Structure formats: C-alpha cells, structure tokens
Amino acid sequence: MSERKIGMWLYSNGGGDKIQKKIIKKLKDRGIDTLNNINLRNAIAKNAHILFHGDEHRGEKLDKLDLMFSYNAGEQTQYQMYLYQALNRVIPMINSYDSFALTEDKFHTSFVLRNHGIKTADYKLCHRDDGHELKKIIKKWDKMVYKPTDGWGGVGLTKIENEANLDMLMPFLNQMDLRYFYVEKFINYDNTDFRVDIVDGEFVSCYGRKANGTDWRTNVTSGGSVFMREANDEIIKVAIDACKATGVDIGGVDIIYDREKEEYIVLEVNGIPAFATPEQEKMGLDFNAKKIDLIVDLIDKKTS
Ligand SMILES: Nc1ncnc2c1ncn2[C@@H]1O[C@H](COP(=O)(O)OP(=O)(O)O)[C@@H](O)[C@H]1O
Ligand SMILES: [Mg+2]
C-alpha cells in the first residue's frame, strides 16, 4: 500500500495532548503519518489547494491528505467552518462537515432525529414575528425551555414556567434581533443524564452527569458533576441510532429519561465528545484506550 498521511487537529487541554501522542503513535504503527495541529485558521486556499501555514509544516497541501481528523473546538469561526466544508469536498473528514455542522445546530439535529424515528423532546421553531405561537404552546405544554440553536454548556437556556414568565421574557427576546424562536417542551426528569460515546457504530462508554441542587441543567459548566453510570441495551441502541441518523462517525449522545412518557429521549449529539480527563480517569472512567483504538481503526479503514 502507498504511504498514507492524515491531518489532525485535536484539543490539547484536559489531557488532550497525551491523547494526540497516543493516536499518532498507533497510526504510525499502521504506516499512517500524521500532520498534527492542523488548525484551519492557519490555512489559505489558493486555486486547487488549501495550504497550511503553521509553524511546522509550511505550505503543506491539505487537499492531498488522505483524511483530516478534526477534533477541537466545537465553536469554530466562520473561516474555519468555511474551509472545513471546502476541504471535505475533496478529502474525507472525521467527522464529515455535513454531520458536524448538523450536530452544531439543535433544531436541525432534533428535526433529523425525529425523521429517523428517534425520540427527542417535543419542540417548535417559529419565525421571530410569530411570537404568538409561543403563547399557544405554553398553554399546551405547561413548561418549556427556550434554547439558542447554536449554544453549548447550557448557556442561554431559559426555562419558561408559565404565561406570565413568557410575557416577561418576550421583550428581551424581541430586543435580541433573533431570526427565530426555538423552544422545547420541558421534560420531567430526575436532573441526571447519560453521555454515551459511540465510534463507528460501536459503543465506547457511558457516564452520567447530575445537576447541582439549584439548577435543572446537567452541564458541568452549569455546576453539574460527572458520575459513574452504567448504560443498558436500550440506551446504547438509542445512541447508536442517533449517530447513524446524524451521520457522525464519532458522537457523544446526551440522553435523559422522560418520567411522564417513561422513555429515553435524545437531547443532543456532540460531534467532539471529550476523552476522559486525568481526574475523571482517576474516578474510574477508563474508556480512553478503547476510544483511541476505535478511532485508529476508523482512520485506517477510511484511508485504505
Ligand atoms: N427539554 C428539556 N427539558 C428539561 N431539561 C432540559 C431540556 N433540554 C435541555 N435540558 C437540560 O439542559 C441541559 C443543556 O441542554 P442541551 O440541549 O444539551 O444544550 P447544551 O448544548 O447547552 O448542553 C441538558 O443537559 C439538560 O440537563
Ligand atoms: Mg448538552
């Protein structure tokens, strides 16, 4: 087989630097070279080529790589996303641009999941001038959550408990110059979730997060904490189906249990689910080795 070479951009914090080294070594053992730290911020497109101008590799043609593995900031700039999209038109990427862009948007993700028969919270999206739709829906749903469609870490989520709440919130939303409103039915759940990691259709790991006493959001950035939690067959199936529906090769699926409907629902699919940090590994989260192996297998397969 001819020599293979891939580009990689993986986060360095929270133990990411060590993960990079392990992946590079395992790929090397299979005859695959890695150009590391390929942040598209430092690339320039010129005619048929996307040229990388980082410190180490001057003028490297990214369009000639066998694959690009992009696993860094979820929030990328428009420039990075624009080049991600262009590059993926000519070489394979993990995750694909289409699937990554899809999972970055909560409405599009829920829409696709529902069309694949995967359970999500009921939601509604309407034009900013149709705020009266929200009035109708709060009467029906009792409680709902307003969500920015491109948010993360629980930031900007607003629980709306009744009509008076909504009336208070509307002037603020109207001021924000939004294009649309996206709201979900507030799910009656126990303030814990499951984060299930899937690589190439295979189950990697499951852990839980629980909201701290004063918040209804499980995000660590909202004060939530990670705990050890076993998956079951049903949860694993939901997570695998959600990754297949959204098209991600690697996905971290957030799942909660709806106590009213007595079923698991998918809250979101994360296209760059973090490896266990050194602290989490000490806690007993020991899935990094398996995840690395599955990612290396996947890269090997996609470049063969
Ligand atoms: N429809 C909902 N009903 C109840 N709680 C929700 C709902 N949607 C989200 N949450 C809570 O808020 C947290 C963050 O929501 P999520 O949609 O995952 O956005 P983010 O991308 O900010 O993490 C979830 O982990 C969950 O605890
Ligand atoms: Mg989330």
Q: What pTM value is reported for the model?
A: 0.96
pLDDT category at 100 given cuts 50, 70, 90 is very high
178 Cα: distance to centroid of ligand 2 (angstroms):
21
Rg of the chain's alpha carbons, rounded to an integer? 21
227-242 tens-digit pLDDT: 999 999 999 999 999 9
The ligand placed nearest to the CA atom of residue 119 is 1
**Best mutation site among 267, 269, 270 for ligand 1, i.e. most ligand atoms within 8 A of its Cβ?**
267
Strands 67-71 and 93-94: parallel
Q: How many CA atoms lie within 13 A of 223 on its CB side?
A: 8
56 Cα: distance to centroid of ligand 1 (angstroms):
40
13-68 tens-digit pLDDT: 999 999 999 999 999 999 999 999 999 999 999 999 999 987 766 789 999 999 99
263 Cα: distance to centroid of ligand 2 (angstroms):
18
Percent of the chain residues topping a pLDDT of 90: 88
For helices 288-303 and 16-29, angle between their N-to-C axes, nearest 10 degrees:
40
154 Cα: distance to centroid of ligand 2 (angstroms):
6
The ligand placed nearest to the CA atom of residue 122 is 1
DSSP 260: T
- Would you say residue 1 has pLDDT above 80? no
pLDDT of amino acid 58 = 77
122-179 tens-digit pLDDT: 999 999 999 899 999 999 998 999 999 998 889 999 999 999 999 999 998 888 888 9
* Angle formed at CA 155 by CA 151 and CA 156, multiple of 5 degrees: 85
Sign of CA dihedral 137, 138, 139, 140: positive
The ligand placed nearest to the CA atom of residue 187 is 1
**Best mutation site among 142, 157, 183, 254 for ligand 1, i.e. most ligand atoms within 8 A of its Cβ?**
157
258-277 tens-digit pLDDT: 999 999 999 999 999 999 99
b/e 244-270 (16+ beta carbons within 10 angstroms → b):
ebbbbbbbbbbbbbeeeeeebbbbbbb
- Residues 6 or more apart whose Cβ sits within 8 Å of residue 168: none
- The Cα 269–Cα 250 span in angstroms is 10
Ligand 1: residues within 6 Å at CB? 106, 121, 145, 147, 151-155, 157, 184, 186-187, 193, 216-219, 254, 267-268
pLDDT of amino acid 177 = 83
Q: Which of 72-76, 87-91, 96-100, 131-135 has the lowest mean pLDDT?
A: 72-76
Residue appearing with tokens 């890269």? 299
**Best mutation site among 219, 227, 255, 261 for ligand 1, i.e. most ligand atoms within 8 A of its Cβ?**
219
265 Cα: distance to centroid of ligand 2 (angstroms):
13
* More confident of the two residues 214 and 256: 256
The predicted model gives 208-220 an average pLDDT of 94
- The Cα 31–Cα 34 span in angstroms is 10
* Angle formed at CA 104 by CA 100 and CA 109, multiple of 5 degrees: 90
Nearest CA to ligand 1 atom 21: 152
Q: How many CA atoms lie within 13 A of 9 on its CB side?
A: 20
Contact 258, 122 (CB under 8 A): no
Nearest CA to ligand 1 atom 17: 267
Number of CB atoms found within 10 A of residue 93's CB: 24
49 Cα: distance to centroid of ligand 2 (angstroms):
36
